[in-house]
Structure 1
Amino acid sequence: MENNVNTKIKNLISLVYGESFSEAHLAVLFEKIEKSCSVITEKRKTGWDEKDVVLITYGDQFTAKGKEALPVFTQFYNEWLARSFSHVHLLPFYPWSSDDGFSVIDYHAVAPETGTWNDIAELKQSTNLMFDFVCNHMSAKSQWFANYLNQTPGYEDFFISVDPETDLSAVTRPRALPLLTPFTLRDGTVRHLWTTFSEDQVDLNFASPQVLIAMVDVLLHYLVEGASYIRLDAVGFMWKIPGTSCIHLENTHRLIQLFRAISDRVAPGTVLITETNVPHKDNISYFGDGENEAQMVYQFSLPPLVLHAVHRQDVRALCEWAASLKLPSQQTTWFNFLASHDGIGLNPLRGILPETEILSLVEILQNEGALVNWKNNPDGTRSPYEINVTYLDALSHKESDNHQRIARFILAHAVLLSFPGVPAIYIQSILGSRNDYGGVERLGYNRAINRRKYVAGEIDGELVDHNNIRHGIYHKLSELIALRRAEKAFHPDSEAMFETVGEHIFKIIRIATNGERITALFNFSNQYQNLYTDINTGRELIAGNAINGTTLTLNPWQVMWIKEN
């Protein structure tokens, strides 16, 4: 096994680098790998099951005067969230300069205001951990970049210098910002460096063996610190060839295969999750052949499709897409979510919905208070690529009362929890957060609308106040998660069938390997819906009611989970 993996690593390096990756480079790389193998003694869980539910949060989500943020979060987590979640995805907690953590200054450190690696270890006593591997780019304020600008030996090719006259019109642009940014080196030379996301996020040059070794060292460090899930951030852009789209290139896939092989060697059971906010057909390419790349990919089409179904009160597009989903192997599954620290991506709808319906959804949400980010297209036009809004506010109308908001919210999250795959829930969602326009005004960017941070004790009272929407959301969603985690039919790998009953009712049937069967029914409309089923006897898990007979009535926006006898 060990020799086979080592051979795979060498073969992948040869495919990507050829002779530029020397025997000396290989010796350094394998020394780091073997050292990590000797340090990691804890066995990771193999695969996944129905109990796996991930919380997405910032490490400094909660603060208290005179205290570092991570211990404050751990205390909140243990009091309010530990019973619901098996994993915590800590968004980048490293020292950073912009983009709320995704412009990393030092990959190997914990931001001092957030805590220390000991605090990470303390949180790990309560949950499994998921870290971000921000592998495409790093901060212009980092020491690595300072070394490059100072022309320090060994850093000459850490970043990507391009002649500004080069034709880069084919390059896929995720944001409406310049692709190249001029920087001045110590000797006065001006170089135009590749900056896919912003002038403060300088792309790493993976064509350099030194960069690969340095970034593998980062990956190994995260494995040693106990991350059982690794999120590969913006991974589709890693390899650049001018004249191409510079996204999803063959060597990008090979690098992910290399990360997978190294993770399998050092910490078997580690799950790699690719974050590629792109059309569905490109997104699923990161499964590779089902065994050699990511074990999970983000299910980016789910959040906007659920919103589309809610606002049109029509589930047909959602169902048709869901029924088309296929995994390449039993070693892969979906990483499902509705909300995250980023906005709701629209590119994953392209190829599924007509552009007119995408633009209509954008207009509806804008009218209800959402903000929109745009991207530039190669032909000079621009398109909306992301809606910025809390998912709670995205689902409802401005005039909706709390009862209506909660009903739509629970319906949407019941879909998430019913879907094959592992569900992830953003902390703002389970806390029932509304749009933070003050944060947008204060910080100056749209994504702040869904990134509110809290002072310890600030919202605890609201979570126990029966008249507060936070209380309703938190308790109902927590109860729903507990039900899901108790049912083998909701195992990520359990058989799933998708149907519609008319245009308003979405049906998901999940069947466990032991034959247990749950029929999930969702009324995506503001009207009562009557339907006939082939279920004679069973129990509706959410309300706890016995089911006798085949005629059911669903209230507006109601969900039923029926476990058949």
Structure 2
Amino acid sequence: MEAQTDLEARIEQHLRVLYPQHDTRTVSARCLKSIGLEGDESTPMPHRNLWNQKDIALITYADCVRRPDEAPLATLHGFLHKHYQGLVSLVHLLPFFPYSSDDGFSVMDYTEVNPSHGGWEDVERLAGDFKVMGDLVINHCSSRSRWFDNYKKRLDPGASYFFEAEPDANLTAVVRPRTSPLLKEVVDEQGSRYVWCTFSHDQVDLDFSNPDVLCEFLTIIKLYLDKGITWFRLDAVAFLWKVPGTTCINLPQTHEIIRLLRLLIEHRQPEAVIITETNIPNSENLSYLGNANEAHLIYNFSLPPLLINTLLTGDCTYLKSWLLTMPPSQAGTAYFNFIASHDGIGLRPAEGLLSEWEIQSLVGTMREFGGEVSYRTGLDGEQKPYEINISLWNAMAGTSKSGPDEFQFDRFVCAHAVMLALEGVPAFYFHSLIATENDHARVANTGHFRSINRHLWDAEELESRLHDESLHHAKVLIAIGKLIRLRQRQPAFHPNAIQYILHLGPSIFAFWRQSPERKQTIFAVFNISNQPQTIPLSELNLFATQVWRDLVGGKSYEDRMTPIKLAPYQFIWLSNYEGS
């Protein structure tokens, strides 16, 4: 038997945990072949930051902007090149594969581009101008996929790809994000079987206790890497491994799978990045960073509900309390900050951070502003709010106490200014950069609340609105574009730069960042209320020997007796040095 390479030995360590009943040396060889690795590749440098303050992500569907007689991916590419070149470095393309439901997250074929969106050549062209993140919809696939058709016929590939359970199994502890029945009956001439469906009966969960499924996905990852995709979003990965009698979420084997994927992907492409999508309570979410050996980045799921609640109540107490508990991201890991996405405002990540009363108040205010609410079934059988479905523009329409007001634009920009200044990589949803409103007509058409924030723009209409600076769409893009360009020049806004939270009262949210080489310090100070606020400059404890200047407004503060006066939702980025 040939001697093992270091990489093969490390792969086998993971496989022995996952597949103790299998010949792990054989499975290891299959893994290497599936992802396109031969022999022992050079070991990637650990704890390396593959991002900096210039990195801005955009989350978008392939077909969110359309033009007649043009592939939507080509239309999107042209739009991004025209309006976002220099602003956005990373494009997260939400699932662009053939699908049967859930706007792409019920994948029928992982190896093809949806013909209605374009082709692989369009993805490769996009990857020539931007880093591209692709969705690895790894927990489940479509009930109309070839794999599931083969499962029903008991043929390969697919005959043993899906997780089965008996109806009388102990499933009382299973954590669910939906209210639909967990098991789906499949009947054929040989009898009936029950497959596991965490999300819907059109999304059947895959069985990763079968190494064939792992190798199948490694082949898919290789394809994506070959097509220029270098960032991988592991969709719904917290539910990946199931053991009846347990919660079937965040199980040790799930973390082991992620560690194995990280090892293989970074050896195949050292610049590749893994990001986990785990819409779960904060402490559980943090676990997916591992010891810098699982996800490179995690979605900062608690940020949207806490920041939106802050701006609606004019009180940053809950937001500050949460941030004070967040560990600094170690080198080689980072937070992926977002405040809007293709999904709703998740409420599970607010559990333990907002009181039940605060959550109910937030839900009520969002309904007042035109939002909807999706529910999940709790362990006690009770239906609980799972996410709020609303466009961010409408979510910022007013306050919890007073309702809609004249500060919608200022509140909206302030929210994004907070995200841009916080530790982590900022990510903008396509519809937030242009402040798209609630799409109630699409909800009525699809019957799904999430469609409210998944508007499909006609390219000419959108171009017209962005050229009319009297409209809020153009105003928002101009204002946020200026902030992005400003951020990109500041080393103190590096995603891993030091961050300390300041205590200036409930109506002022403030923190300071310091660049890794400690050359630049920025005090980010936000009035998160609808009332003017005054702050004595002495409370910021600025170094008296330096001149401090607001990067946003340009005002210098040399006289330490001069107070800072902030209008409703006004903010300053006070720095001792302006980046180039």
Q: TM-score range by the shorter chain?
A: over 0.9
Give the TM-score of the pair, scaled to structure 2.
Answer: 0.93
Q: Secondary structure at the match of 2:487?
A: helix
Does 2:391 match 1:390? yes
Distance 2:137 2:342 in 1: 15
Q: Within 2, Cα distance between the matches of 1:65 and 1:432?
A: 23
CA distance in 2 between partners of 1:102 and 1:239 (Å)? 18
Aligned to 2:60: 57
| Letter in structure 2 aligned against 1:6 | E
2:356 aligns with: 355
Q: Does 1:558 align with 2:570?
A: yes
The answer to whether structure 1 residue 229 and structure 2 residue 197 are counterparts is no
Within 5 Å, give how 1:306-321 maps onto structure 2.
306-321=307-322
Gaps in structure 2 of 5+ consecutive residues: none
- The answer to whether the 8 Å contact 1:274/1:298 transfers is yes
Once residues 412 and 38 of structure 2 are traced to their aligned partners in structure 1, the CA distance between those partners, rounded to angstroms, is 44
The change in CA–CA distance for 1:326 and 1:97 in structure 2 (over 3 A counts) is same
Letter in 2 for 1:427: F
| Contact 2:12/2:25 (8 A) holds in 1 | no
Q: Say if 1:308 and 1:426 are closer, same or farther in 2 by CA, change over 3 A.
A: same
Q: 2:33 aligns with which of 21, 31, 34?
A: 31
Structure 1: state its 5+ residue gaps. Answer: none
| Superposed counterparts of 1:19-418, under 5 Å | 19-21=21-23, 23-34=25-36, 47-185=50-188, 187-290=189-292, 292-327=293-328, 329-397=330-398, 400=404, 404-418=407-421
Distance in 2 between residues matched to 1:38 and 1:57, nearest whole Å = 37
Q: In the alignment, residue 558 of structure 2 is paired with which amino acid? A: N
State the secondary structure of the residue aligned to 1:457: helix
Partner of 2:5, secondary structure, is: helix
Is the contact between residue 39 and residue 224 of structure 1 (CA under 8 Å) also seen in structure 2?
no
> What is residue 549 of structure 2 aligned with on the other side?
539
Check conservation: 1:313, 1:525, Cα contact below 8 A. yes
- Once residues 504 and 565 of structure 2 are traced to their aligned partners in structure 1, the CA distance between those partners, rounded to angstroms, is 13
Cα 1:131–1:37 change in 2 (3 A) is: farther
1:495 & 1:59 partners in 2: Cα distance? Answer: 35
Cα deviation for residue 36 of structure 1 reads 8.1
1:452 aligns with 2:455: yes
Query: Residue type of the partner of 1:170?
Result: A
Cα displacement string for residues 326-376 of structure 1 (whole angstroms, at most 9, x for unaligned residues): 046312110000000000000111111222211121112112221000111
Question: In structure 2, what residue type is equivalent to 1:558?
Answer: Q
From 489, 492, 498, the counterpart of 1:489: 492
Q: 1: CA distance between counterparts of 2:427 and 2:329?
A: 22
- Which range moves more in the overlay, 81-90 or 363-372? 363-372
Code of the aligned partner of 2:389? N
C-alpha deviations, 1:174-219, integer Å up to 9, x for none? 111110011223x252211100000000000101111111112112
- How far the C-alpha of 1:400 sits from its partner, in A, is 4.0
Residues 5 and 40 in structure 2, CA contact (< 8 A), matched pair in contact too? no
Q: CA RMSD in A?
A: 2.0
TM-score, length basis structure 1: 0.95
Change beyond 3 A, Cα 1:313–1:266 = same
What letter corresponds to residue 253 of structure 2 in structure 1?
Answer: N
Distance 1:455 1:36, change over 3 A: farther
Mean Cα deviation higher: 92-101 or 315-324: 315-324
User: Using the alignment, how far apart are the partners of 1:153 and 1:316 within structure 2?
Assistant: 55
Tell me whether 550-559 or 248-257 shows the greater mean CA deviation: 550-559
Deviations, residues 62-91 of structure 1 (Å, cap 9, x unaligned): 222222111111110100111211100000
Instruction: Compare 130-139 and 548-557 and name the one that shifted more.
Output: 548-557
Distance verdict in 2 for CA 1:36–1:91, change over 3 Å: farther
Letter in 1 for 2:332: Q
Q: 2:524 aligned with 1:523, yes or no?
A: no
Count of equivalent residues: 558
- Aligned partners of 2:426, 2:196: CA distance in 1, in Å? 35
Pair 1:438 & 2:448 matched: no
Question: What is the rounded CA distance, in whole Å, between the counterparts of 1:82 and 1:423 in structure 2?
Answer: 16
Residues 37, 123 of structure 1: alpha-carbon distance in 2 compared, 3 angstrom cutoff? farther
Q: Structure 1: how far apart are the matches of 2:7 and 2:490?
A: 36
CA shift at 1:3, angstroms? Answer: 3.3
Amino acid at match of 2:19: Y
Aligned mates of 1:208, 1:395 — CA distance in 2: 46
Q: 1:62 to 1:154 in 2, by over 3 A?
A: closer
Farther-moved stretch of structure 1 (293-302 vs 2-11): 2-11
Separation in structure 2 between the aligned mates of residue 369 and residue 408 of structure 1, nearest angstrom = 17
TM superposition shift of 1:153: 4.0
Mapped contact 1:289–1:328 kept (Cα < 8 A): no
Deviation of the 1:252 alpha carbon? 0.4
Identify if the C-alpha distance between structure 1 residues 159 and 504 changes in structure 2 by more than 3 Å, giving closer, same or farther.
same
- State the AA in 1 paired with 2:358: E
Q: CA deviation at 1:499?
A: 1.4
Q: CA separation in 1, counterparts of 2:364 and 2:96?
A: 35
> For residues 4 and 23 of structure 1, do their structure 2 counterparts lie closer, same or farther at Cα, with a shift above 3 Å needed?
closer
Cα–Cα, structure 1 residues 513 and 46, in superposed 2: closer, same or farther, change >3 Å?
closer
Distance in 1 between residues matched to 2:348 and 2:37, nearest whole Å: 41
Structure 1 partner of 2:428: 425
Q: Deviations over 1:121-155 (max 9, x none)?
A: 11112111111110000001101111111111453
Fraction of identical pairs, as percent = 37
Bigger shift: residues 254-263 or 510-519: 510-519
Q: Distance in 2 between matches of 1:328 and 1:16?
A: 28
